[in-house]
Amino acid sequence: MQCFRTVCLWAIFSLFLAACGGGSDTPIPSPDVQDDDNDGVNNDTDSCPNTPSGTTIDAQGCEVSANRR
C-alpha cells in the first residue's frame, strides 16, 4: 500500500510540474540580465555595444574580424 501511495503522489507531482511549465527546457530569462544588441553578451560585460545583427563576436561582444577567425 505504501508503494501505491508513493506512485500516486509522484504522478500528481509530475502532472503539477507539467501544468506549471516545470518540465519545460525553455530557460526563463532573469529580469536583471540585459543584452540590448542581442549578441549573447550581457550589457555589463559587453565591450562593444550595438554590434550589428548576425555579426560574429568574441567573448567581450566585439566583432571578430576576418583576419582573426
Q: Which three cell numbers stand for residue 6?
A: 508513493
pLDDT per position in the chain (69 positions), as tens?
666 777 677 777 777 666 666 555 666 666 677 999 999 999 999 999 999 988 999 999 999 985 555
pLDDT score recorded for residue 45? 92
What is the C-alpha to C-alpha distance for residues 54 and 69, in angstroms, rounded to an integer? 15
